[in-house]
Amino acid sequence: MSVLEVRNATKRFPGVVALDDASIRVDRNEVVGLIGENGAGKSTLLKVLTGIYRLDEGEVRVNDGVIELTSPRDAFDHGVAMVFQEQSVIGTLSVAENIFLGREGEFIKGGLIDRGRMNEAARVELAKVHLDIDPAIRTEELSFAQRQMVEIAKALSLDSRIEGDIVILLDEPTSVLEKREVDLLFEIIRDLKDRAAIVFISHRLDEVLAISDRIYVLRNGAVVHETPATDATVTELHGHMVGRSLHHEYYREQRQSGAGERCVLEVKGLGRTGAFEDVSFALREGEVLGIAGVVGSGREALARCLAGLLPPERGEILIDGQPARLDSPARAVGHGVGFVPSERKAEGIVTGMSVCENVTLASLADFVRNGFIRRGDERAATQGWIERLSIRTPSGRTPIASLSGGNQQKVVLAKWRVAGSRIVILDHPTRGIDVGAKEDVYELVRDMTGEGLCVLLLADTLEEVIGLSSRIIVMRDGRVSATFDSPPGGKPNQVDLVRAMV
Amino acid sequence: MFIKPFGSNRRQFLQATAATGVIAGLGPRIARAEEWTCAVSMRSLANPYHATFAKGAETYAKSAGAPFEMLVTEGNSEKGIADVRALLSRTGGKLVLNIDPNDSPDARVIVEECAAAGAFVVTQWNKPEDLHPWDFDPSYVAHMSFDGVPTSKAITEKLIESMGGAGGIVAIGGILSNVPAIERKLGMEQAVEASGGKVEVLDFQPGDWNETKAFEIMQAWLTRFGDEIKGVWAANDGMAIGALEALRQDGRAGDVPVTGIDGIEAAYAAIEAGEMAGTVAWDPAWTGGMGLSIAHATATGALDIAGEPHEHREFYGTGIVVTADNLAEVRGEPAPIDYSDYWGRVTGQIQYRG
Amino acid sequence: MAVSFSRRIRSLAPVLVLLALCLVIASTNSNFLSVSNLIRLLSAAAIPLVLVMGATFVILMGSIDLSVEGVVALAAVAASMLVANDFTSLDLGFVALPAAMLLGGLLGLANGLLHVRLAIPSFMTTLGIGFACVGVATAILGGFTVRISDRTFRELTLGRLFDVPYSVWVAGLCVLVAWIIQERTRIGRWVYAIGTDEHTARQVGVPVERTRILVFALAGVFYGLGGAMSASQLGQGHALLSQGRLFTTITAVVVGGTALSGGVGSVLNSVVGVLVVIVLANGMVLMGIEPFVQQGVQGLLIILAVSLALDRSRLAVVK
C-alpha cells in the first residue's frame, strides 16, 4: 500500500519543464532512493511533496487519497516531514523549542508553555536519533551534525502525533556528516522503517545503494529508471543519471601534472592558538596539495588562514619566496590567492547578482576605466569563461541564484581565473553537487594545474583527496601527522591516511 | 517657551483657534483689491506660544475689519517662504505680514520678497544681525524680540528674595547653544553676582527644555546636595515643573522655591499652590496683534514708520514677572489691547551680544 | 566549550558595565548608594522600563518601533483627559489606566497591520504612526496642556508602598509579565524564531504575520501604560510630553545587549539597559561632570556597552 504517491506530475516554469509526467510511489516500511543530476527535477519534486509548489498537472496522494498540500506545515500535518538540506533549525531557540516550533499547542496550559513537559517530549524524540543532549540547550551550541540530528528528530516527532503513516524526506542528509555519523544515520533509518516510509536523496550513489530498497532515477524532469537497490550498481545508476556511462578515469589521473620547479607558496611553522600549530609545507606550481583530516583537525582553519580570513598568530608565509602577510581577504587576493569556500551560498557567490557580476567581482578594477565599469569587456570575459568551463547558464546576465550548485561552483572558479589567481584553495569544492558536475570540477582542477596554477584541496571524501592530489598532508589535532606522495599510479591507500588521521 | 495668556477663557480660545484653522484650510480667499490682507506665519499651532500669537493677530484683524490668513511653516523654511510668496502673489502685494521666521536667514528672503511686492512686514525673534528694518523703508516695518537677560535677572531676583536672600541654588538651563537659553542663563548669573556672594550656584545642568530630563537632574541633585539646595532656577516652566515633581516625590515641594520662565498654566497653578515662587509671562497675543497693527498702520499711511527712531524699529517687548502677588491679575481676563499704543511696551533697542 | 564561555561573559557584559558604572560613581559620591538615591533611580527608571518591555519584543523580532513618543504622548493626553482635569469635565479616575493601555494597543495594532498587510517596513509605518499621534494630540489640544487635578491618579507616581513609589511596583509587574510572555508563551518563542530566521519559522507553520501584528499591539499596550504613567508623573498631558523617550528606549534596549538584527536578547537585558542609561545620567550629575562633556561620555559608554555585548563572531557583515 502506498503511503505517498505522485502521479503523472508535470510542473512548468517559464522556459523549463521541471517535472515531466513523473510518477513515484513510496510504500509503507520502505526506503526509496531518489537520485538525479542537479536540474533533474529532484528539488522540484520535493517542493511539490512539501506543499511549496503546486502541480500544473498530476496529483499527490497521501494514504491513497488525493490531497492538495498548501505549505510545508500542511504537508507536515499530513504526515510528510522534510529534513532540509539547508538546515532549518533556529539557533537562538532550544532544542526542544525547535522540535516543536509552531506546534506548541499540546504543551500549553493556562496560556503558558509547560517547558518541563516539552523538554520531556523532546527527550523522547532525541532518543530516537540516539542524541544524548539536554533538550533545553540552545541549538547554536550544537555541532553541525548534531543539528542535523535535531532536524531529523523534529521530523520523527510526527510519529506519535499523526494518525496513519508518516513519510520522511531526507534531502542530502549526509553531505555534512562524517563517516561515523553517516553510519549512525543509516542505523536510525533502518530503525525507522518499522514506523515510516523514507525518501532518501543523496549525490553519494554508494550511500543510496546501501540504504535504499528501491531507487528512482530522475533526468530532465522525468523518471528514467526504477530499480530495486539489490539489482543496481553505481556505474549503472550513473549511466542512467547522466545518460552516458561513467568516465573511465574518474579523477583524471592521467592528466595529473608533475610538480614544477618553482615553489609558489611556502608555509613555515604556522600556528594559531586553538586551531593548528607548527604547520609547514611547500606548494609548487602545477601541484595539487590535498589536506586530509577529520573535523577538528585544524585543516579548515588552515585553509581560511591562507585565504586571509583568519590571521595566523605564529609562523611565516612565503609567496614566490617573499614573505607575505595575508591578514585580510583583500591582501590574499592581491597575492594571487583564490578561495573557493565550502559555504558556497554564504561566501562563494553573491546571490543577488548576475553570473557576470559574480565572475568579475574579485577583479573589478581590471574592468574599470575612468571610474566606470566597461560592461562590454566584462561581458566578453564572462562569455569566454562560460564557454571554457561549460557553465550552463542562458547568459551572463542570468541571476546566479537560478543556476544549479555545480554551475555556481564553476562561476566561483571562473571568478578566480579572471582575477588571475595562482594559488586556488578549494574547500570541499564538490560538496552538494552531483556526479556530472563533480567530474567537470575535476576536469577544471586539471586544467588549472596544467596551466601552472597550484591548488590546495580540502576534499569531500578520502577517495577524492587521493584521486586528485599530487601530494597529501594529513592533519591531526592541529598538527601535520603525515605526508604522502600521490603520483599517478602510485596513490597511497585509504587505510594509511585514516591511520594518520585518527 | 510656552504661554497661555487667556486663563479661564481657554476653552473658547481653543474653539476659536480650531475654527481659524479650519477656515485657513479652506483655500484661497481673494481679498478685495482695496483691502490689505493681514497674515501671520509661525512654526506650528502645537505650542501654546504660537497658538496664542496667531489668536492675538486674528483678534486684531477682526477689530480692523481686515481679511486674515494664517501660515504654518511646520519647521520647514522652504515651506514658510513658499507660502509667503504664494500669498504675496494672491493678494497682489497688498499684504501686511507678522512673521516669526523659521530660521534667521529666512527673514532676509521674506523681507526682500515683501519689499519687491510692496507689502509690509514685521518680524519676530529671528533675523540676521546685519538685516535692519531701516534698510528696507518702509516695507520692513519692524523687528520685535524679547531680551532674555533682564527678564531672567528679574525672576532670579524673585527667587533669591523668596529664599530669604541667601543660600545655594541649582540651575537647569535650556539647550546649551540656544540663544534664549544663553540669555536666560546670563540673566540668572547677573542676579546671583548681584547678591554679593550670599547666593551660590551649586550646579548648572542643561535640561534641554525637557521636563523629564529636568526631573532626573533634580533627582540627582537631591542626592548630591540634599538640604544645601535652597532654591531651584529653571530656564523655562516645563523644566521647572519637572524639577518640582522630583521635589514632590521627596515631599519637599513648597519648602524649596522654584522659578521658571514662560508663564504656562501649570506654573501658575504651582505658584497658586505655593510650590513655585514665580515665572515670567510673555504676551504673545500682544506681539501677534501689535505686529500687525504697526504694519497695517504703516500700510494705510496712519503711521510714518520711516520717520520713527531705531528703537521703534528693532525693539524688545516686555516680559511680566508673575508671582503669587499678581497671579490673579495675570490669569484673569486680559485687558483689551490698545492697538494704537504702538510703543507702550518697548523696553529698548535690540542689543547684539556678539 | 570555549565558545560557550565567551558567550556567557558577553551576555553578562551589560551587567558588568552597570556594576562598573555604579562602582565608579559610588567611589566619588557616597550618597549614590544611599537608599533614597536608589529609590530615586528606580522611580526615574519606572517609565522607561515599561516602554522598553514593549520595544524589546519588537526589536527581538527584527523590527523597529519608532512610534514610542507619539503613542506615549497621545496616551498621556488621553489619560489626562479622562481623570479629573481642567480640560474636560470627566473624572473617571483609574479607568484612565486601562483606557490608555487600550488606546496604545490599538495604535500598536495599527502599526502592525500597516506593516504586515501593506508590507511597509516597520521603520516607516511606526515613524508615520508616531507622527500622526503627535499630530492628533496637537489637534486635540491646540498646543495647550491638560493639567491633572486628580490627586489619586497622581498617587500612582507620588504614592509609596514600602517607601518605593507605586510606579516602580507597576514597572516591576510589567517586567514580570513581559518575562513570562518571553519565556512561557508561544508568542515569546515565535518572536525569537521570526527574529532569527523568519523563513524557517514560516516553513514550520509559525503564523508570522499574526505574531508580528500582535507584538506591535503588545508593545503599544506597554507604551499606553507608559503614557498614563508619564501623565501621572508630571501631572499633565501635552503633545510634547514624551520628548526624548524614543532615544532612551532604543538606547536602553541596545545597551542591554539585544541585537537590532533580531533574535538575540531578552527583556531582562533591557532592564539592565534601562538601569545603565538612568544610572549614567544620574551619575554624571552626581560626579559633577561638565555638561559639555556629558554627552560625549554618554555616547562613548553606549558604544562601549554595545561593543562588549555584541557577539562579533556571529557577524561576518556589519550593516
Tell whether B21 and B142 lie within a shared domain.
yes
Q: Which residues contact B136 (CB under 8 A, 6 or more apart)?
A: B111, B112, B115
Q: With a cut of 70, say whether residue C1 has pLDDT above it.
A: no
Beta carbons of B17 and C142 less than 8 Å apart = yes
Please give the average per-residue pLDDT across A408-437, as a whole number.
83
Please, are residues A436 and A406 in contact by the beta-carbon 8 Å criterion? yes
- pLDDT digits 0-9 by tens, C221-235: 999 999 999 998 888
- pLDDT digits 0-9 by tens, A152-164: 888 888 877 777 7
- Considering the domain A2-242, what is its CATH architecture? 3-Layer(aba) Sandwich (3.40)
Pick the range with the lowest mean pLDDT from A71-80, A241-250, C179-188.
A241-250
Q: With a cut of 60, say whether residue A244 has pLDDT above it.
A: no
Q: Where are the domains of chain A?
A: 2-242, 253-336+422-501
Chain C from 178 to 237: CB within 8 A of any A CB: 180, 183-186, 189-190, 192-193, 195-197, 199-201, 203-206
Residue B118 belongs to domain with CATH number:
3.40.50.2300
Task: Count Cβ atoms within 10 A of the Cβ of residue B285 and give its class: 0-12 exposed, 13-18 middle, 19 or more buried.
Answer: buried
Q: How far is C158 from chain B (nearest CA, A)?
A: 5
Q: Give B4's pLDDT tier (boundaries 50, 70, 90).
A: very low
Tell whether B157 and B274 lie within a shared domain.
yes
Q: Give C270's pLDDT tier (boundaries 50, 70, 90).
A: very high
Select from C40, C89, C290 the residue whose CB has the most chain B CBs within 10 Å, as the one to mutate to test that interface: C40
pLDDT score at B31: 42
Select from C131, C145, C230, C275 the residue whose CB has the most chain B CBs within 10 Å, as the one to mutate to test that interface: C145
pLDDT score at B11: 43
pLDDT score at B72: 86
Beta carbons of C205 and A91 less than 8 Å apart = no
User: Is residue A220 within a helix (H) or strand (E), and if so which, with residue range?
Assistant: none
Q: Give A435's pLDDT tier (boundaries 50, 70, 90).
A: low
Cα distance between residue C116 and residue C127, in whole Å: 15
B332 within a domain of the structure (yes/no): no
Using an 8 Å CB-CB cutoff, list residues of chain B that contact chain C: 2, 4, 10, 14, 17-18, 44-51, 176, 203-206, 208, 210-213, 215-217, 219-224, 226, 241-242, 245-246, 248-250, 264-266, 269
Please, are residues C232 and C154 in contact by the beta-carbon 8 Å criterion? yes
Identify the three-state secondary structure at position A400: helix
Task: Return the percentage of chain A with pLDDT > 90, whole number.
Answer: 7
Neighboring chain C residues of A107 at a CB cutoff of 8 Å: none
Please give the average per-residue pLDDT across C36-59, as a whole number.
92
Cβ count near A390 (within 10 Å): 12
B121 within a domain of the structure (yes/no): yes
Task: Return the percentage of chain B with pLDDT > 90, whole number.
Answer: 24
Considering only CA atoms, give the Rg of chain C.
20
Task: Return the percentage of chain B with pLDDT > 70, whole number.
Answer: 88
Cα distance between residue B233 and residue B170, in whole Å: 6
Q: With a cut of 90, say whether residue C48 has pLDDT above it.
A: yes
Q: How far is C1 from chain A (nearest CA, A)?
A: 9
Beta bridge partners of A472: A290, A484
Q: How many CB pairs below 8 Å do chains B and C form together? A: 117
Pick the range with the lowest mean pLDDT from A29-38, A362-371, C64-73.
A362-371
Please give the average per-residue pLDDT across B85-112, as a whole number.
89
Query: What does the buried/exposed string (b/e) look like for C129-158 if buried means 16 or more CB atoms within 10 Å of the residue's CB?
Result: bbeebbebbbebbbbbbbbbebeebbebbb
Please, are residues C265 and C256 in contact by the beta-carbon 8 Å criterion? yes
Beta carbons of A90 and C201 less than 8 Å apart = yes
Please, are residues B168 and B228 in contact by the beta-carbon 8 Å criterion? yes
- pLDDT digits 0-9 by tens, C102-145: 999 999 999 999 888 888 888 888 999 998 998 888 888 876 77
pLDDT score at B16: 44
Neighboring chain C residues of A104 at a CB cutoff of 8 Å: 186, 189
Q: Tell the residue number behind the cell numbers 519584543, with chain if given.
A: C57
Q: How far is C114 from chain A (nearest CA, A)?
A: 24
Q: With a cut of 50, say whether residue B13 has pLDDT above it.
A: no
Of C234, C245, C281, the CB nearest to B242: C234
Please, are residues A258 and A446 in contact by the beta-carbon 8 Å criterion? no
Q: Which residues contact A35 (CB under 8 A, 6 or more apart)?
A: A42, A201, A202, A203, A205, A208, A215, A216, A217, A218, A237, A241
Neighboring chain C residues of A108 at a CB cutoff of 8 Å: 186
Beta carbons of C235 and B245 less than 8 Å apart = yes
Tell whether B237 and B107 lie within a shared domain.
no
Beta bridge partners of A7: A59
Please, are residues B73 and B83 in contact by the beta-carbon 8 Å criterion? yes
Q: Give A176's pLDDT tier (boundaries 50, 70, 90).
A: low
More confident residue, B213 or A352: B213
Nearest to B294 by CA among B231, B244, B346, B351: B346
Please give the average per-residue pLDDT across B149-154, as a whole number.
88
Which grid coordinates are listed for B43? 512654526
Pick the range with the lowest mean pLDDT from A386-395, B40-49, B195-204, C44-53.
B40-49
pLDDT score at C74: 93
- pLDDT digits 0-9 by tens, C201-218: 877 778 888 999 999 999
C143 touches chain B (CB under 8 A): yes
Please, are residues B235 and B2 in contact by the beta-carbon 8 Å criterion? no
Neighboring chain B residues of C141 at a CB cutoff of 8 Å: 14
Q: Give B46's pLDDT tier (boundaries 50, 70, 90).
A: low
Pick the range with the lowest mean pLDDT from A5-19, A103-117, A277-291, C207-221.
A5-19
Please give the average per-residue pLDDT across B212-231, as a whole number.
90
Please give the average per-residue pLDDT across A83-109, as a whole number.
83
pLDDT score at C307: 79
Across chain C, mean pLDDT equals 85
Kindly list the distances between the CA atom of residue A68 and the CA atoms of A21, A49, A55, in Å, as whole numbers in the listed order. 18, 10, 9
Q: With a cut of 90, say whether residue A348 has pLDDT above it.
A: no
Nearest to C149 by CA among C84, C63, C82: C84
Per-residue DSSP letter, A222: E
Of B50, B223, B245, the CB nearest to C233: B245
Q: At what angle do helices C151-158 and B237-249 cross, to 10 degrees?
A: 70
Please, are residues A215 and A186 in contact by the beta-carbon 8 Å criterion? no
Q: With a cut of 90, say whether residue A406 has pLDDT above it.
A: no
Please give the average per-residue pLDDT across B283-305, as a whole number.
89
Q: With a cut of 70, say whether residue A242 has pLDDT above it.
A: no
Compute, in degrees rounded to 10, the torsion defined by CA atoms C211, C217, C218, C224. Answer: 170
More confident residue, A56 or A247: A56
Tell whether B58 and B152 lie within a shared domain.
no
Beta carbons of B265 and C147 less than 8 Å apart = yes
C244 touches chain A (CB under 8 A): no
> Of B260, B281, B302, which marks where a domain is finished?
B281
> Which CATH number does the domain A253-336+422-501 belong to among 3.40.50.300, 3.40.1390.10, 3.40.50.720, 3.90.1640.10?
3.40.50.300
Q: What is the pTM of this model?
A: 0.71
Which grid coordinates are listed for A173? 542528509
Cα distance between residue A407 and residue A389, in whole Å: 9
Q: With a cut of 70, say whether residue C89 has pLDDT above it.
A: yes
Beta bridge partners of B203: B170
Of A72, A112, A346, the CB nearest to C203: A72
Tell whether B102 and B154 lie within a shared domain.
no
Beta carbons of C185 and A113 less than 8 Å apart = yes
Which grid coordinates are listed for C193? 524564531
Tell whether B125 and B36 lie within a shared domain.
yes
By C-alpha distance, the chain C residue nearest B22 is C139
pLDDT score at A466: 86
Cα distance between residue A282 and residue A109, in whole Å: 65
Task: Tell me the three-class secondary structure of chain B, residue by residue.
Answer: CCCCCCHHHHHHHHHHHHHHHHHHCCCCCCCCCCCCEEEEEECCCCCHHHHHHHHHHHHHHHHHCCCEEEEECCCCHHHHHHHHHHHHHHCCCCEEEEECCCCHHHHHHHHHHHHHHCCEEEEECCCCCCCCHHHHCCCEEEEEECCHHHHHHHHHHHHHHHCCCCEEEEEEECCCCCHHHHHHHHHHHHHHHHCCCCEEEEEEEECCCCHHHHHHHHHHHHHHHHHHEEEEEECCHHHHHHHHHHHHHCCCECCECEECCECCHHHHHHHHCCCCCEEEECCHHHHHHHHHHHHHHHHHCCCCHHHCCHHHCEEECCCEEECCCCHHHHHCCCCCCCCCCCCCCCCCECCCCC
Q: How far is C194 from chain A (nearest CA, A)?
A: 9
Touching C (3+ Cβ pairs <8 A), the chains are A, B
Best-predicted range by mean pLDDT (A194-198, A236-240, B26-30, B173-177): A194-198
pLDDT score at A501: 75
Across chain B, mean pLDDT equals 82
**Hey, CA dihedral for A453, A454, A458, A459, is it positive or negative?**
positive
C249 touches chain B (CB under 8 A): no
**What is the count of structural domains for chain B?**
2
Cα distance between residue A285 and residue A449, in whole Å: 7
Pick the range with the lowest mean pLDDT from A174-183, C208-217, C310-319.
C310-319
Q: How far is B191 from chain C (nearest CA, A)?
A: 22
Pick the range with the lowest mean pLDDT from A359-363, B162-166, B348-352, C54-58.
B348-352
Beta bridge partners of A61: A5, A66
Please give the average per-residue pLDDT across C8-25, as a whole number.
84
Please, are residues C210 and C299 in contact by the beta-carbon 8 Å criterion? no
By C-alpha distance, the chain B residue nearest C41 is B219
B347 within a domain of the structure (yes/no): no
Please, are residues B72 and B271 in contact by the beta-carbon 8 Å criterion? no
Kindly list the distances between the CA atom of residue A19 and the CA atoms of A239, A248, C19, in Å, as whole numbers in the listed order. 20, 31, 63
Q: Which residues contact B22 (CB under 8 A, 6 or more apart)?
A: none
By C-alpha distance, the chain C residue nearest A274 is C2
Peptide bond into B138 cis (omega under 30): yes
Neighboring chain C residues of A116 at a CB cutoff of 8 Å: none
Domain that holds residue B74: 7-146+283-317
Nearest to A279 by CA among A262, A301, A307: A301
pLDDT score at A161: 75
Cα distance between residue B103 and residue B110, in whole Å: 11
Please give the average per-residue pLDDT across B60-86, as a whole number.
88
Please give the average per-residue pLDDT across A304-321, as a whole number.
88
Please give the average per-residue pLDDT across B308-320, as a whole number.
86
Cα distance between residue A490 and residue A472, in whole Å: 13
State which amino acid sits at residue B162: S
- pLDDT digits 0-9 by tens, C140-178: 887 677 888 888 888 888 888 888 889 999 999 999 999
pLDDT score at B33: 43
Q: With a cut of 50, say whether residue A248 has pLDDT above it.
A: no
Q: Give C47's pLDDT tier (boundaries 50, 70, 90).
A: very high
Q: Give A326's pLDDT tier (boundaries 50, 70, 90).
A: confident
Q: Tell the residue number behind the cell numbers 532512493, with chain if given.
A: A33
Tell whether B216 and B130 lie within a shared domain.
no
Q: Tell the residue number behind the cell numbers 596513490, with chain if given.
A: A491
Q: Give B20's pLDDT tier (boundaries 50, 70, 90).
A: very low
pLDDT score at C310: 66
Q: Give B182's pLDDT tier (boundaries 50, 70, 90).
A: confident
